[in-house]
Structure 1
Amino acid sequence: MTTFALVGAGPGLGLAAARRFGKAGHSVALLARDADRLDDLVAALDSDGIQARGYTADVLDPDTLTQALIAAAGDLGPVEILQYSPVPRADFMKPVLETTAADLDAPLAFSVKAPVTCVNAVLPGMRELGRGTLLFVNGGSAVRSKPSVAGTSIAFAGESAYAEMLHTALAPEDIHAAQLIVPGAIHPDSATSSPEVLAERLYALHTDRDGFRHYAEPMPD
């Protein structure tokens, strides 16, 4: 059995994606800072008959990410699918004219350094398997910068560039990197951006392996 590793596990999209990949036969590794939240998510997946374990890690602490992903592969099986989709902090979203160089330290660590850390942790296992999928979930500011949310606009752009380079560099090894842009809010009643609909889209990105950037819905004008 191979593992679906989710960085940024939560009760919305994270749980829906974990269920979708778990029901497809993958074990599930959930990474987040809150141990109590992880216990609740693991219990929910266990009730669905999905093998899952939680690992406490902070995306701003590279060592904890690496340790958690290595432990997950040892406990559950090699990581075949990595999903990077933590929710940015509110203080990343200052207007551009109020943003200092220091204000970018955490957003860049969150959206650039942490994804690089995660990929470096799982890539050896994917190469040994001979296949893998790297999924990146971002908001609309990743492709259309917004002066009102400078930190995420700058950091998401860096994450997008990194992910797109991975898509090209790893394709010959059957390791597929793809990005899903969610322009608006994730809402349980949305026909295009509910957690369950987005989870299905992410699973299709893994199985169809078609192109790099995909949109949950059209970008607003």
Structure 2
Amino acid sequence: MSVMVITGGTAGAGKATALRFARAGYHVALIARDETGLQEAQQACERFGIKTLAISADVADAGALQRAAAEVEATLGAIDVWINNAMTTVLAPFRQMSEEEFRRVTEVTYLGYVNGTRAALEVMAPRDRGVIIQAGSALAWRSIPLQSAYCGAKAAIRGFTDAVRTELMHEKRHIQLTMVQLPGMNTAQFGWARNKMDQAMQPVPPVYQPEVAAEAIYSVIQRPVNELWVGKSTIQSILGQVFFPRLLDRLMVKKAWEGQFTGQPKPAEHQDDLFTPVRGNHPGHGPFNDGARRKAVTISADLPGKVAAGVGVAVATMALRALFRRSGKRR
């Protein structure tokens, strides 16, 4: 039976993905910081009759992930799939973010993926087989205000992943390295993120349920691609950035700034997960169920250039028209 590992697998898209692989019969190893959340996610996966392993570790610690990989192999067997998913963020203008805060987001959200990829390759390379999946974001292509550290990390993951993939190709390795670019998800992270603004935080609409991410990530096991774009909003953001970057800059000033706020004051007592985990059982969904989408169109970035360009121009044009209409309504 196949074995998968996922970091940040105790809530949201990570938990949904762990459950999707468990339902498919994979043995599941979960890596996260909070032991209570790990235990609950582990029990949820075990309902599918598979073996599980829960490991408490901080992905910013490279040695901890290498030890975790060794423990998984000794307990569950050879790792077939490794999914890097753990993240954290800070909502604030760059100049209001401390050096320590920026560094921590980078260590978890970027270097956590680097550390996970290294740990996976160390056990996969001798066998010359395996799949490594990076849970990405449309923000890897199109950055938005108030999340400079997170956007920078996601963009760095994309560059890192492309570089390592070409190295594996040069070595003629049979190891798949894929990045799945996701839209705004209905997860608990928007209540856990460090928020230095006055209003409560939300994903920029449209919002998708975590199961959309899980299905997309699982799909690349069946149909390998270099990069998968999930959701019309992701496709529009990426292609808009490719064809009309300066125009998107101007649109993001208003749309993406205001779109990250619920319009309600943030809670007076706000616990974030930047340096210490949020304790307890972690929900699969966030508080944005109303209107959250359960299905999403996907497109592979591996499409032939001419087809991609033709589709890109058409989609980007429609996206910009839609953005102009939305901006006009808000004035």
> Shorter-chain TM-score: which interval?
0.7 to 0.9
How many percent of aligned residue pairs carry the same amino acid? Answer: 24
Matched, 1:37 2:37: yes
Q: Retained in 2: the 8 A contact 1:6–1:82?
A: yes
Q: Retained in 2: the 8 A contact 1:20–1:199?
A: yes
Matched, 1:93 2:108: no
Structure 1 residue runs without a partner (length 5+) = none
- 2:107 corresponds in structure 1 to 109
CA distance in 2, matches of 1:217, 1:51: 36
Distance 1:28 1:208, change over 3 A: same
- 2:15 corresponds in structure 1 to 15
Query: Displacement, 1:161?
Result: 0.9
Q: Retained in 1: the 8 A contact 2:16–2:211?
A: yes
> Based on CA coordinates, which of the two structures has the bigger radius of gyration?
2
Decide which moves more: 171-180 or 38-47.
Answer: 171-180
Amino acid at match of 2:95: L
Amino acid at match of 1:17: T
- 1:119 corresponds in structure 2 to 117
Matched, 1:212 2:235: no
Query: Displacement, 1:206?
Result: 1.8
Number of residue pairs aligned between Structure 1 and Structure 2: 217
Distance 1:84 1:59, change over 3 A: same
Distance 1:128 1:177, change over 3 A: same
Amino acid at match of 1:198: A
- 1:80 corresponds in structure 2 to 80
Query: Displacement, 1:101?
Result: 4.4
What is the DSSP-based 3-state SS (H/G/I as helix, E as strand, rest coil) of the residue aligned with 1:158? helix
Distance 1:151 1:192, change over 3 A: closer
CA distance in 1, matches of 2:159, 2:105: 15
Q: Retained in 1: the 8 A contact 2:87–2:109?
A: no
Query: Displacement, 1:215?
Result: 2.5
Q: Retained in 2: the 8 A contact 1:70–1:122?
A: no
Amino acid at match of 1:68: A
Q: Retained in 1: the 8 A contact 2:180–2:217?
A: yes
Query: Displacement, 1:168?
Result: 2.5
- 1:71 corresponds in structure 2 to 71
Q: Retained in 2: the 8 A contact 1:140–1:183?
A: yes
CA distance in 2, matches of 1:126, 1:198: 25
Distance 1:87 1:121, change over 3 A: closer
What is the DSSP-based 3-state SS (H/G/I as helix, E as strand, rest coil) of the residue aligned with 1:5? strand
Structure 2 residue runs without a partner (length 5+) = 188-204, 238-322, 324-331
CA distance in 1, matches of 2:233, 2:184: 10
- 2:54 corresponds in structure 1 to 54
Q: What's the TM-score once normalised by structure 1's chain length? A: 0.87
Amino acid at match of 1:5: V
Q: Retained in 1: the 8 A contact 2:120–2:132?
A: no
- 2:135 corresponds in structure 1 to 137
CA distance in 1, matches of 2:147, 2:206: 26
Q: Retained in 2: the 8 A contact 1:191–1:197?
A: no
After superposition, the C-alpha distances for 1:62-101 in whole angstroms (9 at most, x for unaligned) are 2222222221121111211111111314xx3321333454
What is the DSSP-based 3-state SS (H/G/I as helix, E as strand, rest coil) of the residue aligned with 1:58? coil
CA distance in 1, matches of 2:222, 2:118: 22
Matched, 1:203 2:218: yes
Q: Retained in 2: the 8 A contact 1:4–1:28?
A: yes
- 2:176 corresponds in structure 1 to 176
Q: Retained in 1: the 8 A contact 2:7–2:30?
A: yes
Alignment RMSD (CA, Å): 2.3
Q: Retained in 2: the 8 A contact 1:5–1:31?
A: yes
